[in-house]
Amino acid sequence: MSWTVSVIRYHFNEDARETMQEKINRTLVTEANRMAVY
């Protein structure tokens, strides 16, 4: 999980259209789906 947090922080752009919370939520969903596949 710590790896995911660092990726979010690294890719976050101040000018992005999505908020930090939206990015976190989307990333958590992506990670959950990835774990569900394996």
pLDDT digits (tens, 9 = 90+) for 1-38: 455 555 555 555 666 677 778 888 998 999 888 888 76
What pLDDT score does 20 carry?
A: 77
pLDDT at 19: 79
Structure pTM?
0.46
Range of the domain at 25: 2-37
- What's the total number of domains in the chain? 1
Q: How does DSSP assign the chain, residue by residue?
A: -HHHHHHHHHH--TT-SS-HHHHHHHHHHHHHHHHHH-
